[in-house]
Amino acid sequence: MVKQSDFISESVVRQEPCRICGSSEGIKIAETEFWNLQNCNIVQCTSCKLIQLDPMITLENTAIGCHAYYLKEIIETPVLEQKRNLLRNYRRGIVFARSLQKKGVHPETILEFGPGSGYFSAGIQFIFPGCRITVVDIVDEVMKMNQEIHVFNVFSGSPEDIRLFEDRKFDLIIARDILEHVTDIGRVILNIAALLNPHGLFHFITPNGKEDVWGHYINWEFRKKPSELLINHVNYFEGAGLLKCLTDSGFSKLEYYTYQVKYALRGKGWKRKEKLAVPVSTKQRADELIRLHEKNQGAQYFQKDEILDVFIFRTKIVWLINLYCRYKHHWLIHLDPRRNVGHEIHALFIKK
Ligand SMILES: [Zn+2]
């Protein structure tokens, strides 16, 4: 019997093999357009269930589209909201580090891929003041900010190519909202395992793929026109398949759950209603947006003292800060990602 939440789609022969299992068989879930740059199918692998763009967005188009998206975010996010986000990430870093501390883990060397503002790792450093933090990004602006504001060690690169680290190893590797963007997810997970010390930890968050792809699927079902893709989510993870990929690559699960169910309650991931569709592509011009707004790049540079100048951090009472952060970022409901319900997957794995 076909459940309402199943994808009803035609079988296709993929243009590129699956990046986890190498299969070239799939079902076509949707068609999408990355800005005005590239048209791709969204295909689910029939063997391992990973959903990916097929063909993948080229490196050149990824660079252009990501630059345009980065500028669009700065333009559209009010300054107050940008500041709130930094504080939010700092608190989340504290909550995460505290959870490690309770497990008796004290990482000394930490590597974060795609650190954004760097405030998550800064929160970890609040709990573990002696830890050494290295961050890796491809955007110059991000590296500059992490070096100047947090004095982290910075590298230009991506988790797809780890040659730049030579023999360096880490106790903890962090990839928050990164895995959905990487071209070769199978390779990236092996790379991360290779960069960890024995019993090193890997923490990531990533969207629940079923919910994330649902709007594209519904758009294709109802309108048979390509959807608009402005942020380069190129992987949409299925909970069981992702878990298998990790365990096959030398990891054991410590924490693996989804949280935040409000979007599922609205029908994302199971209800066939046109109002859940994402917009049809209008081929927004990435080059034009970059040309018009490039001068805004890096407009918002906040000092750390200014961001952390709020009552709770001024108290300097560590137990109170821990309690407050936990209160702000505590998910009541934890679901098994293999059910593919929930907004985001939270994971902590240990290298076997
Ligand atoms: Zn596969």
Q: How many angstroms is it from 245 CA to the middle of ligand 1?
A: 10
Q: How many angstroms is it from 347 CA to the middle of ligand 1?
A: 21
Mean pLDDT over residues 179-201, rounded? 96
Domain of 125, in residue numbers: 10-351
Give the residue from 348, 352, 230, 339 showing the smallest Cα distance to 283. 230
Q: Is the residue at 164 inside a domain?
A: yes
E strand or H helix that includes residue 171: strand 170-176
Q: How many angstroms is it from 25 CA to the middle of ligand 1?
A: 8
Q: Is the residue at 3 inside a domain?
A: no
Q: Is the residue at 135 inside a domain?
A: yes
Q: Could you report the per-residue pLDDT of 27-41, keeping only the tens digit for each?
A: 999 999 999 999 999
Residue 212 pLDDT level (bands cut at 50, 70, 90) = very high
Whole-number pLDDT of residue 162: 87
Residue 224 token pair: 């048979």
Burial of 76 (0-12, 13-18, 19+ CB in 10 A): exposed
Q: How many angstroms is it from 186 CA to the middle of ligand 1?
A: 10
Q: Is the residue at 1 inside a domain?
A: no
Q: The domain that contains 79 carries what CATH number?
A: 3.40.50.150
User: Which residues are close to ligand 1, an ion, with C-beta < 5 A?
Assistant: 18, 20-21, 23, 45, 47-48
Q: Helix or strand or coil: residue 35?
A: coil
Q: How many angstroms is it from 44 CA to the middle of ligand 1?
A: 8
Mean pLDDT over residues 10-33, rounded? 96
Whole-number pLDDT of residue 313: 93
Q: How many angstroms is it from 49 CA to the middle of ligand 1?
A: 6
Q: How many angstroms is it from 17 CA to the middle of ligand 1?
A: 8
E strand or H helix that includes residue 282: none
Q: Could you report the per-residue pLDDT of 42-89, keeping only the tens digit for each?
A: 999 999 999 999 999 998 999 899 889 988 988 898 889 989 999 999
Residue 294 has pLDDT above 80, yes or no: no
What's the total number of domains in the chain? Answer: 1
